[in-house]
């Protein structure tokens, strides 16, 4: 690990009072930042400074700060979660930047993700997509035996990989079309691959895709930016699977029983 350095940075931060007011970039000086700080800790330092001066601190989303909750966002110098691959903003350290650098910090930009304030956006569109079908209905009864249902190892692994999606929205932020396909496809895949998900498999694909369209996310152009920027490495094969599931449901599956 490299030695701790202290650096002075120029931040260009998007400031916006609320959803309805127009925002603008504000230049803020961040001095005496340690290279060992995380990006969010750097913002904490800046915010303490702003508070002391009696100014409004920068509003941003964060929660676990361990890279697993998907709450932190931030579009840093043109990339979601900053310049490193496979990491969330809370796991991004200031050693990835150099002294005197200008850092542009913007919120996720998407019609479906309206700005709440400053850098925080409303990501409940993702929740509504999940609620449309991203679950397995479990009726009451005894707890089933852990290994009662055999699942092939490749399916279990693949489902697990899809299930690692933390729903941070970096895929939407990175996509030039603000498309949510990587997120939605991961959520469809994790159940499509498992026996527990079979009963609702085709309703799920239709309901989630339709909700995604209703929320106003863009279409996929296969630029693969989402895959490159995803902090947990969700694969593009998920999107192909979603397409398969959806077309299969729409073209070949019955909605109601034959009369």
Q: Which residues bind another protein (CB under 8 A)?
A: 12, 25, 75, 77-79, 83, 104, 106, 109-112, 174, 176-179, 209-210, 212-213, 216-225, 228-229, 236-237, 239-247, 250-251, 255
Judge whether 108 and 169 are in contact, CB under 8 Å: yes
Shortest reach from residue 173's CB to another protein, in Å? 9
Determine whether 103 is exposed, middle or buried from the number of CB atoms within 10 Å of its CB (0-12, 13-18, 19+): buried
Q: CB 228 → another protein: shortest distance, Å?
A: 4
> Measured between alpha carbons, how far is 27 from 78 in angstroms, rounded to an integer?
16
Does residue 116 contact residue 128 with C-beta atoms inside 8 Å? no
Residue linked to tokens 């913007």: 106
* Closer CB to another protein, 61 or 106, in the complex: 106
Nearest 5°: phi and psi at 242?
Answer: -60, -45
Least separation, in Å, of the C-beta of 166 and another protein?
A: 18
Report the distance separating Cα 166 and Cα 56, nearest Å: 30
Nearer to another protein, 7 or 178 (CB): 178
Min CB(48)–another protein separation in Å: 26
Q: Which is nearer to another protein, 16 or 91 (CB)?
A: 16
| Cβ nearer to another protein, comparing 83 with 195 | 83
């Amino acid at each position: 690990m490299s030695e701790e350095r202290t650096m002075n940075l120029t931040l260009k931060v998007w400031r916006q009072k609320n959803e309805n007011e127009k925002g603008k970039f504000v230049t803020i000086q961040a001095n005496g930042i340690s290279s060992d700080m995380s990006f969010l800790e750097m913002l904490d330092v800046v915010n303490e400074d702003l508070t002391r001066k009696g100014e409004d601190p920068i509003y941003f989303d964060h929660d676990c700060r361990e890279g697993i909750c998907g709450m932190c966002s931030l579009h840093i110098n043109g990339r979601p979660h900053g310049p490193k691959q496979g990491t969330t903003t809370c796991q991004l350290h200031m050693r990835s930047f150099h002294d005197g650098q200008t850092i542009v910090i913007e919120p996720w930009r998407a019609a479906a993700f309206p700005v709440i304030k400053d850098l925080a956006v409303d990501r409940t569109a993702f929740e509504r997509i999940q609620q449309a079908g991203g679950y397995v209905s479990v009726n009451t009864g005894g707890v089933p035996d852990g290994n009662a249902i055999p699942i092939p190892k490749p399916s279990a692994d693949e489902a697990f990989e899809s299930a690692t999606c933390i729903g941070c929205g970096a895929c939407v932020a990175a996509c030039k079309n603000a498309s949510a396909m990587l997120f939605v496809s991961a959520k469809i895949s994790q159940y499509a691959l498992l026996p527990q998900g079979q009963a609702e498999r085709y309703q799920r694909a239709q309901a989630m895709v339709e909700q995604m369209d209703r929320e106003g996310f863009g279409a996929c152009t296969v630029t693969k930016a989402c895959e490159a920027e995803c902090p947990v490495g969700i694969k593009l094969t998920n999107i192909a699977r979603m397409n398969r599931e959806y077309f299969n449901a729409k073209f070949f599956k019955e909605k109601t029983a034959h009369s």
